[in-house]
Structure 1
Amino acid sequence: MTCPVTGAANGAAVPLSGPRFATEPAELYREMRRDHGSVAPVLLDGGVPAWLVLGYRELHQVTGDPMLFSRDSELWNQWPNIPADWPLLPMIGHKQPSILYTVGERHTQRAAMIAHALEAVDPFELKAYAEQFADELIDTFCGKGVTEIIADYAMLLPVRVLARIYGFSDERGPGLVTAMNDMIDGRERALAGQQHLASSMFALLAEKHANPGQDVASYMLETQLADDGSGFTDEEIAQDLMVMMAAGHQPTADWIGNSLRLMLTDDRFAASLFGGRHSVAEAMNEVLWEDTPTQNVAGRWASRDTQLGGRRINSGDLLLLGLGAANADPQVRTDGSALTGGNSAHFAFGHGEHRCPFPAQEVAEVIARTGIEVLLDRLPDLDLAVPATDLTRRPSPWLRGLTDLPVRFTPTPTSVFGESR
């Protein structure tokens, strides 16, 4: 019998690429689980081997044991086989100084610094910023009767809000939007986007050293005053600000797009299009279970030989976190109850000490929910401008989002920061 995923004999490693990750990931994960179990062998770009953790319980085990399954990429047993131009190097994090690849006590300290800075953000101000920028973006297309929600709205909103709470002036917001989206495109402007983001972060820190404010950058710089040796350098803080902006932008934009797609194509959420706020939260929660923006994450590295899901994992093996697959594990989704009552036991934000910090989750939720609610308030008869079957997804096994979401609506007048609402 051959594997329907690869055409190879059962047990063969599955290439972590191809259109099915965009078109039918749920079916693909079911086939992988059927043919390989809860931990499947996969191949990354260039035939590099890794394990994809598909099982909910197995993923909980991996993310909950940072000693056995470490975030230290230096443990990887494949480094001798990785070329200098390997396309996934930025994701794997070889010798990167950010919090993503810091381990032990230093990671705990950096995570606490980030959580403290984000917790200090006034939630009412955050929502007001999200409403302001949402209204400004909607004003650019509300009189036309048609727009493309992903490019004209979802991919613009999160960065503008994050830039404001980090401490950037609004004049620098559009440049940061361009830089972030250039980096995501991964084309010739990706490097320029990364350089612009880095220089902007260092410039921001220099400004906040001279004139601190009530913003995330200033709160993070306060750690440099610690007298116990736990303070952080500008380099570390700048790296973490870049990670926070990247992690807060694309997944939040996809959360907005995926939730709107669900609400525009599923009759259960039709009431939301006429001002029903409760359904917005339900749709957003369902997306985190069924259509989570972050599908797969690299990764964890085994610190010694071990067993996981009936597989022998060798010391230094790379394990990829199959968040989307684990959310759909039939062992924990036997009756579909995971979607009811606001159940948040999904893996959309990860798990364990390297999960997305809870304050960061709250920031993303406020931006996404406010963005959806303002849009539906302003354009209550919003509808798809193309058949749902024509909507396309980004061809990536890592982040799941729409490439476009064309909509139509009755043209409406512009507003001054939502006064018409």
Structure 2
Amino acid sequence: MSTRYDAAGDRPAAFRLYGPRFQTRPAELYRQMRAQYGPVAPVLLDGDIPAWLVIGYRELHHVLSHPEVFARSSRRWNAWDRVPEDWPLRPMVMRTPTVLYSEGEEHRRRAAAIGDALAGADQHEVRQYAVQAADRLIDGFCTATKADLRADYAARLPAVVLGRLYGLDREHAEVLADAMTTMIDSGPDAVRAQQFLLKTMGELVAARRKRPGADVVSRMIGHPAALRDEELIPDLVVVLGGGHQPTTEWLGNTLRLMLTDDRFAASLTGARRSVREALTEVLWEDTPTQNYLGRYAVHDIELGGQLIRAGDLLLLGLAGANSDPRINPDPDAPTGRGNQAYLSFSHGDHRCPYPAQELAEIIVTAGVEVLLDRLPDVELAVGVDELRWRPSPWMRGLVALPVVFTPVPPTGGQ
């Protein structure tokens, strides 16, 4: 159970940002933090490494809008001397040569190449392919009576479509999907999967330099930003990872909502409007990326009533900000369905690119609609309270989504 902890020095007592209580009931902890400290709460990461969690909507918007004060590069972090070499979160704070950790003009140059390359995708074609890919995945389990919609469907559909956007054929996209899932699951083969992805991206970049195509990789190569291979290759992996995991959890969490909430379950068949509403509600209530590392204070500053010291680490509490009572006074009522002011895709220079957000919505919408059309009587195979959330303070998603349904014949589509 997460409890307050009396940290050494002049820092106030902090909440541990890990443990079973955070895993199962994070919203409860956000409310407790807010009651104790307000919109900015002291927290402890694995190994009791101190940080601040920004859970106020206005305060988080301010942090994300002022990179000159709350910077991205971890070279400013004042707690490096407390971090052991084997710290499990070290890969998330190490400064790596990707767009994620770049700042200023370098970030704008690299982010422009990514955004423009994604914007070049034909959304109609992406939607068609997402529907076809969803049908193929459902064909893989539709003749049975049960499936795990996370492992068999939600974790695979985004990777397959992203592979297609990179110009890969179906077979290579499936291999890429497996590697992405293995890397993100952080199991014993995760490093090997990451090495495979970097190698694959290197080979793909070399091939596209010789023979460009109508794909994201070729557009990034030909962009006026003139990215070098050492920039292109890791950024392509970042785009894959950044697109795959949040989209997987968005799809899984939306399916969970529609299968467990009577407001949606009553109108599953052909319920296009309710699917859209479910997508938006998930971004407010169970946003896939609930917390994100991070920003570093350039100088001492007060934020949300707390004194932030130069070099302090601030965590972006996206889920906490979305549930801020100043914008959602009734925590038990679904947040405004037409309102898209959520911070689920972050904000400011480092926000998720708009084209990426649009493509993710296309994938998730197709994934939900095709599944409900193909398996109209699908329902949970376990009680709602038996569903388990992944043990991550960063992503909000289920370990599994077991369902049962009446078998149907495969479509046999290509």
What TM-score range do you get, normalising by the shorter chain? over 0.9
Distance 1:148 1:243, change over 3 A: same
Question: d(CA) in 1 for partners of 2:267 and 2:353?
Answer: 29
Aligned to 2:340: 344
Aligned to 2:115: 115
Equivalent AA in structure 2 for residue 221 of structure 1: I
Question: d(CA) in 2 for partners of 1:61 and 1:221?
Answer: 34
Listed one character per residue, the Cα deviations across residues 59-79 of structure 1 (whole Å, up to 9, x for unaligned) are: 011001000000111111112
> Counterparts in 2 of 1:151-230, with a 5 A limit?
151-223=151-223, 226=224, 230=225
Which residue among 362, 366, 370 is the counterpart of 1:370?
366
Q: How far is the alpha carbon of 1:36 from its aligned partner?
A: 1.7
Q: Are the equivalent residues in 2 in contact too, given 1:58–1:309 (CA < 8 A)? A: yes
Q: Are the equivalent residues in 2 in contact too, given 1:137–1:153 (CA < 8 A)? A: yes
Listed one character per residue, the Cα deviations across residues 293-349 of structure 1 (whole Å, up to 9, x for unaligned) are: 101000000001111001111111100000000000001112579833421100110
| Percent identical residues | 54
Which residue among 273, 277, 289 is the counterpart of 1:278?
273
Under a length normalisation based on structure 2, what TM-score does the superposition of the two structures give? 0.96
Q: Secondary structure at the match of 1:273?
A: coil
Q: How far is the alpha carbon of 1:141 from its aligned partner?
A: 0.7
Listed one character per residue, the Cα deviations across residues 237-275 of structure 1 (whole Å, up to 9, x for unaligned) are: 111111111011111111111111111111100244212
Unaligned 5+ segments in structure 1 are none
Equivalent AA in structure 2 for residue 90 of structure 1: P
Equivalent AA in structure 1 for residue 98 of structure 2: S
Distance 1:256 1:387, change over 3 A: same
Q: Are the equivalent residues in 1 in contact too, given 2:4–2:16 (CA < 8 A)? A: no
Question: d(CA) in 2 for partners of 1:341 and 1:393?
Answer: 24
Listed one character per residue, the Cα deviations across residues 173-227 of structure 1 (whole Å, up to 9, x for unaligned) are: 222122111112212101111001111111111111111110000000002xx4x
Equivalent AA in structure 2 for residue 91 of structure 1: M
Q: How far is the alpha carbon of 1:415 from its aligned partner?
A: 0.2
Question: d(CA) in 1 for partners of 2:199 and 2:6?
Answer: 50
Equivalent AA in structure 2 for residue 375 of structure 1: L
Aligned to 1:319: 314
> Counterparts in 2 of 1:252-263, with a 5 A limit?
252-263=247-258
Distance 1:49 1:257, change over 3 A: same
Q: How far is the alpha carbon of 1:123 from its aligned partner?
A: 0.5
Question: d(CA) in 1 for partners of 2:247 and 2:227?
Answer: 27
Q: Secondary structure at the match of 2:50?
A: strand
Question: d(CA) in 1 for partners of 2:269 and 2:48?
Answer: 50
Q: Are the equivalent residues in 1 in contact too, given 2:6–2:14 (CA < 8 A)? A: no
Q: How far is the alpha carbon of 1:129 from its aligned partner?
A: 1.2
Q: Are the equivalent residues in 1 in contact too, given 2:165–2:216 (CA < 8 A)? A: yes
- 2:57 counterpart of 1:56: yes
Aligned to 1:74: 75
Equivalent AA in structure 2 for residue 73 of structure 1: S
Aligned to 2:357: 361
Question: d(CA) in 1 for partners of 2:236 and 2:397?
Answer: 23
Q: Are the equivalent residues in 1 in contact too, given 2:281–2:337 (CA < 8 A)? A: no
Question: d(CA) in 1 for partners of 2:355 and 2:335?
Answer: 23
Aligned to 2:302: 307
Q: Secondary structure at the match of 1:249?
A: helix
Listed one character per residue, the Cα deviations across residues 22-43 of structure 1 (whole Å, up to 9, x for unaligned) are: 2111111000111122111111
Equivalent AA in structure 1 for residue 352 of structure 2: C
Q: Are the equivalent residues in 2 in contact too, given 1:5–1:32 (CA < 8 A)? A: no
Question: d(CA) in 1 for partners of 2:28 and 2:88?
Answer: 27
Distance 1:237 1:7, change over 3 A: closer
Q: Are the equivalent residues in 1 in contact too, given 2:118–2:216 (CA < 8 A)? A: yes
Task: Report the number of matched residues.
Answer: 409
Q: Are the equivalent residues in 2 in contact too, given 1:150–1:404 (CA < 8 A)? A: yes
Equivalent AA in structure 1 for residue 311 of structure 2: G
> Counterparts in 2 of 1:130-145, with a 5 A limit?
130-145=130-145
Aligned to 2:129: 129
Question: d(CA) in 1 for partners of 2:209 and 2:82?
Answer: 43
Q: How far is the alpha carbon of 1:169 from its aligned partner?
A: 2.4
Q: Secondary structure at the match of 1:274?
A: coil
Equivalent AA in structure 1 for residue 16 of structure 2: P
Equivalent AA in structure 2 for residue 122 of structure 1: D
Which residue among 279, 288, 291 is the counterpart of 2:286?
291
Q: Are the equivalent residues in 2 in contact too, given 1:60–1:351 (CA < 8 A)? A: yes
Q: How far is the alpha carbon of 1:95 from its aligned partner?
A: 2.8
Q: How far is the alpha carbon of 1:364 from its aligned partner?
A: 0.6
Equivalent AA in structure 2 for residue 359 of structure 1: P
- 2:401 counterpart of 1:405: yes
- 2:238 counterpart of 1:243: yes
Equivalent AA in structure 1 for residue 232 of structure 2: I
Q: Are the equivalent residues in 2 in contact too, given 1:256–1:371 (CA < 8 A)? A: yes
Aligned to 1:333: 328
Q: How far is the alpha carbon of 1:8 from its aligned partner?
A: 4.7
Question: d(CA) in 2 for partners of 1:59 and 1:173?
Answer: 37
Listed one character per residue, the Cα deviations across residues 102-122 of structure 1 (whole Å, up to 9, x for unaligned) are: 000111111111111011000
Question: d(CA) in 2 for partners of 1:21 and 1:154?
Answer: 23
Aligned to 2:3: 6
Q: Secondary structure at the match of 1:278?
A: helix
Question: d(CA) in 2 for partners of 1:19 and 1:8?
Answer: 16
Question: d(CA) in 2 for partners of 1:120 and 1:347?
Answer: 25
Q: Secondary structure at the match of 1:339?
A: coil
Q: Are the equivalent residues in 2 in contact too, given 1:273–1:382 (CA < 8 A)? A: no
Aligned to 2:18: 17
Distance 1:272 1:114, change over 3 A: farther
When structure 1 is superposed on structure 2, of 163-172 and 398-407 the one drifting more is 163-172
Question: d(CA) in 1 for partners of 2:294 and 2:221?
Answer: 29
Question: d(CA) in 2 for partners of 1:7 and 1:61?
Answer: 27
